[in-house]
Amino acid sequence: MPGAMEILRGISVAPGVVIGEAVVLEAEDYRIPFRTVPADQMGAELSRLDDAVTHSIEELAKQREWLGAHLGRDAANVFDWHIGVLRDDHLRHNVEAMIRDKHASAAYATSTVMRNYQRRFQQMTDPLLVERIRDVQDIERRMLRHILGEQREDLAHLTKPVVLIAHDLTPTQTAQLANTKVLGVALDAGAATSHTAILLRSLGRPGVIGLNDVSTRVSGGDTVIIDGSNQLVIANPNAATLEEYRAQEAAFVRLADELDELRSLPAVTRDSKRIRLLSNIEFPNEAAVGLGKGSDGVGLYRTEFLFLRPAGAPTEEEQYEAYVAAIRGADGRTVTIRTFDLGADKYTQQRSYEQERNPMLGLRSIRYSLQNLDMFKIQLRAILRASAEGDTRMMFPLVNSLMEFRQAKMAVHDAMEDLEDAGISFRKDVSIGMMLETPAAVIQVKEFCREVGFISIGTNDLIQYLLAVDRGNERVSPFYNASHPAVLRAIRDVVRACTQAEVDCTLCGEMAGQPLYTLFLLGVGLRNLSMAPANIPEVKKLIRLVSVPQTQRIARKALSFETDRQVTNYLRDETRKLLPEDPI
C-alpha cells in the first residue's frame, strides 16, 4: 500500500513536469576483500588489469562516439575525463605496484587505488572538483566489472515509461538514458555543476537532484511527480495533487508545441518595446542550440567548464577553438564571454591541498585570476583572438571593487600588446564589462557605471551574498529566495543607475529564466535577459502578452511588499492572469 504523500525540494537540472511509476536503482557497490595472490599467478592478475583497462577505454570511446553524434561533441567530452584517468600512467603504476609488492588481486588493488583517488577529491573545497568523485566511482565500477567478469545491469530493459529514483547516477548511466523509457530523474546526490547534471540538461529530461534521501523515501511502484520547474519531487501524491499535476503535464506538452511556433518571432511587448533574450551556455555548441530556441545571442558563456577535462588547464589554442566555435554558432549575434569563475583549488596539477575555510568568500573568480596573471592572460589572448570572428564581449566575474576592474582591464591591454607584437589580429574595440554579484558592487554601481562597458547582474551569487545563504546547502535552501524584498530593491537600484548612465544592463542569473519574475524585471527597466536556452520560449511568450506600463505597475506593487511570500504570491497571481493554463 502506498505511503503518505511526501514533498521534497532539491536542485532543478531541467524544467518540466512528468508523472510516472518509480523505479529505484540500487547502488552498485563492490566490496572486495584482500586475498594474497601466489607469485605464479601474479602475471595473470596483471593481464586481468590490462584487459580491464583496454575494454573500459573501448566502451567509453563507443559511448563518446554515440553522444557526439546525438548530443554534440561537448556533451561527449564528459567521457574524455574518464578515458584520461584510465590512461594515467601514475595511476596505473600504483595499481600494478600493489599487485607486485603486496601480492594483491587486480580487483583489490584497483578498488584500493581508486578509493584513495576519491579521497583526494573529497579533501578539495571546490564543488566543481568534489563532483569528480562520482566520475572516479564510475571508473572504478567499470574496471571491477571487467576484472570480475560481471555484467552491468542497465536501464535498456525498461518496457514502460518510468521515473528513475537513485542515490546517484554515474555519467555512464546518465548517458544511457537517451534510449530508455525514463521520463525524469530524482537523485539524493548531485550538484548543478556535476557531469550527471550537465548530461541530464543535454538530454532534456526533467530532473531534480540534491534531494538527500529520496531513494530511501520512495519505493519501486510508487507514483512520483517530478516538477523540474519548481525543484520539487512529490511521492505518492493525493488525488487532488495528482489531478493538478496531470493538467500541468498535459499543459507542458501543449506548451512545447505552442512555444515552437514562437521561435522565429521577436520578443516584443504589446507596445512595441524590444526585449533581448540571450542564452547562458557552458559548451560552445549550445550557442546554436540557443538560436534554435529563439535567442538573440549569448549573454553568458561560462568558460570554467573548459576545466572538465583530464589534462587540467586548457591551452590558449584549446580555448581559442572553443570560443571561435561559440561565436560561429551564434551566427553573427553577440557572444559575451565570462573569464574563468574559478576557485583557488581548481588547478589539480599545480594545487596544494590546503583547504580554504570558506571558499565562497575566499580566493575565487577575478581575485584568483589577478593572482595568477599568466593563466589569466592566456585566456584573455584566446578571447581577443576569437573576437576577430564576430561580435564578442568580455566580462569579469565577481568584481567587488573598482581596483579589481581596473587591474583586470590592464591585463587585457597587456594581452592586446602581446598580440600586436606577434602580429595576430583581434578586435580592438571589444566591450569589457563586469558581473555584478555582491552587495558592495550594488552600493558602488554608479562608480562602476563610469568605467565599465556593460553590467550583467548575476543573481545566483548576488542572492547568496545579499541574504547570507549558501545556495549549495540544502539545509538552508528555503532561505535562498529571489523574491526577498532586498533582492528586488537591489535589482531595481542597479537597473536605475545603469539606465541613468546609459550603460547596457543584462540580468543573467536563474531568475531571468523564471516566468514568475519576468513582469517584475521588465517593470524595473531591464531590456536584456540571459537564461538557459530551454527557458527562452516561455519567457518570450509572456513578454508578447504585456505592455511596459503594465509591468511597471506590477513592479511598483511588488516592491511595496515586506516579505518574500507576499512577493511570490502576488507575482504568481499576476503571471497566471496572462498565462492561466501554463505551469508557473
Domain with CATH 3.20.20.60 in the chain: 261-578
The C-alpha atoms of residue 317 and residue 333 are separated, in whole angstroms, by 23
Q: What is the mean pLDDT of residues 439-451?
A: 98
Position 353 scores a pLDDT of: 40
Position 154 scores a pLDDT of: 53
pTM comes to 0.72
- Cβ contact 337:392 at 8 Å: yes
The C-alpha atoms of residue 182 and residue 388 are separated, in whole angstroms, by 44
Tell me how far the alpha carbon of residue 160 is from its chain's centroid: 30
What sign results for the dihedral spanned by CA atoms 370, 375, 379, 385? Answer: positive
Domain with CATH 1.10.274.10 in the chain: 39-148
- Cβ contact 189:170 at 8 Å: no
Residue 406 Ramachandran class (φ > 0 left, ψ -120 to 50 alpha, else beta): alpha
Q: What is the mean pLDDT of residues 368-375?
A: 92
452's grid cell:
565599465
Residue-wise burial string across 374-399, b where 16 or more C-beta atoms lie within 10 A, e elsewhere: ebbbbbbbbbbbbbebbbbbbbbbbb
Vertex 325, ends 321 and 329: CA angle to 5°? 170
The C-alpha atoms of residue 69 and residue 264 are separated, in whole angstroms, by 26
Banded pLDDT at 150 (limits 50, 70, 90): low
The C-alpha atoms of residue 199 and residue 14 are separated, in whole angstroms, by 10
One CATH from 3.40.50.150, 1.10.10.10, 1.20.1730.10, 1.10.274.10 for 39-148: 1.10.274.10
Domain with CATH 3.50.30.10 in the chain: 6-28+155-257
Q: Which of 34-48, 70-84, 222-236 has the lowest mean pLDDT?
A: 70-84
Average pLDDT of the chain to the nearest whole number:
85
Task: Assign 213 to helix, strand or coil.
Answer: coil
Q: What amino acid positions are annotated as catalytic residues? A: 195, 508
Position 230 scores a pLDDT of: 82
Position 1 scores a pLDDT of: 46
Banded pLDDT at 284 (limits 50, 70, 90): confident
> Is it true that domain 6-28+155-257 has CATH number 3.40.50.300?
no
The C-alpha atoms of residue 253 and residue 352 are separated, in whole angstroms, by 50
Q: What is the mean pLDDT of residues 122-144?
A: 72
Banded pLDDT at 214 (limits 50, 70, 90): confident
Tell me the CATH class for 261-578.
alpha beta
pLDDT tens profile 378-387? 999 999 999 9
**Residue whose C-alpha is closest to residue 77's, from 292, 322, 327, 297:** 322
The C-alpha atoms of residue 396 and residue 379 are separated, in whole angstroms, by 12
395's grid cell:
566580462
Residue 496 burial (10 A CB sphere; 0-12, 13-18, 19+): middle
Q: Which residue has 537540472 as its cell numbers? A: 13
Banded pLDDT at 107 (limits 50, 70, 90): confident
CB count within 10 Å of CB 212 equals: 16
Residues in a beta bridge with 186: 165, 208
Please check the confidence at residue 66 and state whether its pLDDT lies above 90.
Answer: no
Banded pLDDT at 51 (limits 50, 70, 90): very high
Please check the confidence at residue 10 and state whether its pLDDT lies above 80.
Answer: yes
Residues in a beta bridge with 504: 454
The C-alpha atoms of residue 59 and residue 52 are separated, in whole angstroms, by 10
12's grid cell:
532543478
- Cβ contact 182:164 at 8 Å: yes
Position 333 scores a pLDDT of: 97
Q: Which residues contact 432 (CB under 8 A, 6 or more apart)?
A: 393, 394, 395, 396, 409, 412, 452, 453
pLDDT tens profile 308-332? 554 567 899 999 999 999 999 999 9
**Residue whose C-alpha is closest to residue 266's, from 552, 536, 581, 584:** 536
Q: Identify each DSSP E strand in 229-321 by its residue range.
A: 232-235, 276-281, 297-302
